[in-house]
Chain A
Amino acid sequence: MAHQCVDRAVGVTKRYDTLVTWLTLAPALALVGLIFGASVLYGLAQSLGYLAIIGETRLSLEAYSGLLAGRSPAGREFWQALGFSLWVSAASTVLAAGVALLLAVALSGQRRPVGGATLLALNLNLALPHLAWAIALSLLLAQSGLLARIATALGAIQAPAEFPVLVRDSYGIGIILHYVSKEIPFLALIVLAVLRTQGTAYELVAENLGANGWQRVRFVTLPLVLPGLAAGALLVFAFTFGAYEVPALLGVRYPRTLAVMALELFTNPDLRSRAEAMAISLLMALVVVGVAGLARVLNSEREGR
């Protein structure tokens, strides 16, 4: 009898716990679930041609096939824009990850904690909004910008036209320069955080066992930071692939990234191009979620250790 009572009490407490758990989660789940869910649903419907406002309620894969097979006017640009987006984000990610790794290893290789001033500098760079940094770059790197003036003063060039086209160029150099300089601090902070939690014990052991500087970096530091760095780099890739502001400010009209193309199609007065805009944005989201999901798996493996 008493045994049953205890059992029932435990059962009640458990149910109460479950209730509290879901009650605390409910507002967040409702907000994200409803709004984000609605955006995916509405986006999908519109990409399939459903647009009740203009009386279009038939569903078709026209937007997708037009884009992927290159039949529609936008479709003729689609693959090129995809390639340009991939080029810009891949180049930015690889360069930023490489430099961030070098920076973090150099900064933490001095046997004492990385100074507060350096951390602050990294964090401040992170705090500068992308939009502001892109504008600064266009002021600094334009053909009559500050850098061109310095080059002129040094006698390296005589006229603005001799200065290389670094922003609004057709190779995406300006966009890549932007992302690399902005993402180095982001990735360096991730690497530094890993190095800080791991301490210097492994390095000391390796040194005692006769490893030289290069060997310590190659066989101790690199394996330690690689999962974190890779996860961070994938996030950088996902972000740069989907972002609109920077390619819009630092890119040219052609070639342009998928994000720029999608927003332009979306704001087109012809409402029918909305289906294509939505299809592009959903394809972009698919790529980004895939890449970021990979980063998540890497991250949980690292934390699971």
Chain B
Amino acid sequence: MRRWSLFLLRATLYLLLLGPLAAFGLYGLSTRWFYPQLLPSEWTFEPLMRQLGSPLIQAALARSLVIAGLVTSLALLIGLPAARTLGLRRFRGRSLVLLLMFLPTVVPPLATGMGLNILFLQLGLAGSVAGVVLVHLVPVLPYTVFALLGVFARYDEGYEQQARTLGASWPLVLLRVTLPLAGPGLAVAALFAFLVSWSQYVLTLLIGGGRVITLPILLFSAVAGGNPTTTAILALLFAAPPILAIALASRALSGGATVVGQQY
């Protein structure tokens, strides 16, 4: 009985995972699949190939990658020193800093984006990739700081001091001590920073103003367009990179390096 209920639980879990992929595959790779047919009678790669070849979609894919890549790099660059200090030092004002970092992770992107819309228009940042990257950093940077904070809270500076005492230069310390120690946590933080930016719709819409077309923006308008085949293919293109990335990072994740405290 117990074994069966456990089996059922596991099966539900995997079904939740396979369900969306099956849906995208069934709708994206078939034509004229009408109710009540259980399975499509005609399979075709034609829509998939056409979408992959579309300049609009290729540009959106590239733009999404560039934006998420830039956001991730900047978040790591700015977040790493801050997280190290917050994780290793106790100083006056620390909890205030933590509070300031915490707020943007929970305030709805809708509120942030609507508030910034006019300002970014005045600054000439609206409708530009730079503006979208900046506004993505508002939720992503604090989240990266918190993810890295967890890494540095368990970090022992003693190893670095020991290496310095033994005569290692600081680049060598960074390369041979700091990075190997913080590496897995760093990778996980980078991965989720990328995912948060990759999945962002509202902020891109409000600051990009319909001129910065990313994959989520295309996906949303495809839903409004009402063609399930187009929607399914775009959704697959949109969902595949995160899933692949998590699968590749599964080792670091199963080590329990971080519990993901973020929604996106």
- B-binding residues in A (CB < 8 A): 17-18, 20-21, 24-25, 27-29, 31-33, 35-36, 38-44, 46, 51, 53, 103, 106-107, 110, 116, 118-133, 135-140, 144, 146, 148-150, 152-153, 160, 181, 184-186, 189-190, 193, 196, 235-236, 238-239, 241-245, 249, 259, 262-263, 266, 277-278, 281-282, 284-285, 288-289, 292, 296
Inter-subunit contact A18/B91 (CB<8 Å): yes
Inter-subunit contact B116/A42 (CB<8 Å): yes
Cβ of B189 under 8 Å from chain A: no
Main secondary structure of the interface of B (DSSP, over half): helix
Inter-subunit contact B115/A136 (CB<8 Å): no
Closest to A144 in B: B35
Q: What chain A residues lie within 8 Å of B238 (beta carbons)?
A: 129, 131-132
Specify which of A39, A150, A152, A190 is in contact with B259 (CB 8 Å cutoff): A190
Q: For the A-B complex with A36-B104, A41-B115, A121-B14 known, give 16 more contacts whose Cβ atoms are closer than 8 Å.
A: A25-B82, A28-B142, A29-B100, A39-B113, A124-B246, A129-B216, A131-B219, A135-B219, A135-B235, A149-B37, A153-B38, A184-B16, A249-B223, A281-B108, A284-B110, A292-B102
23 contacts between A and B (CB under 8 A): A17-B89, A27-B82, A32-B101, A36-B104, A36-B112, A39-B111, A39-B112, A40-B115, A42-B115, A43-B115, A120-B246, A121-B14, A127-B245, A131-B216, A131-B219, A135-B219, A135-B223, A135-B231, A146-B23, A149-B36, A263-B110, A285-B108, A292-B106
A7 to chain B, nearest CB (A): 21
Inter-subunit contact B23/A136 (CB<8 Å): yes
How many B residues are at the interface, by size bracket?
35 or more
Specify which of A32, A124, A126 is in contact with B141 (CB 8 Å cutoff): A32
Cβ of B190 under 8 Å from chain A: no
Q: What chain B residues lie within 8 Å of A296 (beta carbons)?
A: 102
Cβ of B44 under 8 Å from chain A: no
Closest to A299 in B: B261
Inter-subunit contact A128/B20 (CB<8 Å): yes
Instruction: A244 to B232: give the CA distance in the assembly, Å.
Output: 21
Instruction: A20 to B5: give the CA distance in the assembly, Å.
Output: 56
Given contacts A18-B91, A123-B253, A132-B238, contact A106 B5 (CB under 8 A): yes
**8 nearest A-B residue pairs (beta carbon):** A242-B108, A43-B115, A136-B20, A39-B115, A24-B81, A129-B199, A132-B239, A292-B106
**Which of B54-62, B130-138, B157-165 makes up part of the contact surface?**
B130-138
Instruction: A186 to B260: give the CA distance in the assembly, Å.
Output: 8
Given contacts A148-B35, A149-B35, A238-B106, contact A120 B243 (CB under 8 A): no
Inter-subunit contact A130/B199 (CB<8 Å): yes
Q: What chain A residues lie within 8 Å of B107 (beta carbons)?
A: 36, 242, 285, 288-289
Q: What chain A residues lie within 8 Å of B183 (beta carbons)?
A: none
Inter-subunit contact B115/A46 (CB<8 Å): yes
Inter-subunit contact B106/A25 (CB<8 Å): no
Closest to B97 in A: A25
Given contacts A32-B100, A39-B138, contact A127 B195 (CB under 8 A): yes
Please, what's the 1-or-0 string for B172-210, where 1 marks a CB less than 8 Å from any CB in chain A?
000000000000000000000001001101100010000
B160 to chain A, nearest CB (A): 15
Q: What chain B residues lie within 8 Å of A51 (beta carbons)?
A: 118
Inter-subunit contact B138/A36 (CB<8 Å): yes
Q: What chain B residues lie within 8 Å of A263 (beta carbons)?
A: 110, 114, 202
Instruction: A288 to B142: give the CA distance in the assembly, Å.
Output: 17
Cβ of B79 under 8 Å from chain A: yes
Inter-subunit contact A262/B100 (CB<8 Å): no
Cβ of B17 under 8 Å from chain A: yes
Cβ of B84 under 8 Å from chain A: yes
Instruction: A239 to B231: give the CA distance in the assembly, Å.
Output: 25
Specify which of A35, A46, A119 is in contact with B134 (CB 8 Å cutoff): A35
Cβ of B45 under 8 Å from chain A: no
Cβ of B103 under 8 Å from chain A: yes
Instruction: A135 to B228: give the CA distance in the assembly, Å.
Output: 9
Specify which of A28, A40, A110 is in contact with B82 (CB 8 Å cutoff): A28
Inter-subunit contact B13/A121 (CB<8 Å): yes
Closest to B82 in A: A28
Please, what's the 1-or-0 string for B1-38, where 1 marks a CB less than 8 Å from any CB in chain A?
00001100110011011011011101100000001111
Closest to A137 in B: B20
B139 to chain A, nearest CB (A): 9
Inter-subunit contact A244/B246 (CB<8 Å): no
Given contacts A36-B112, A153-B36, contact A128 B259 (CB under 8 A): no
Closest to A191 in B: B259
Cβ of B78 under 8 Å from chain A: yes
Inter-subunit contact A27/B78 (CB<8 Å): yes
A268 to chain B, nearest CB (A): 12
Q: Which of B20, B22, B219 has the most CB of A within 10 A?
A: B20
Specify which of B91, B134, B239 is in contact with A128 (CB 8 Å cutoff): B239
Specify which of A38, A120, A121, A284 is in contact with B111 (CB 8 Å cutoff): A284
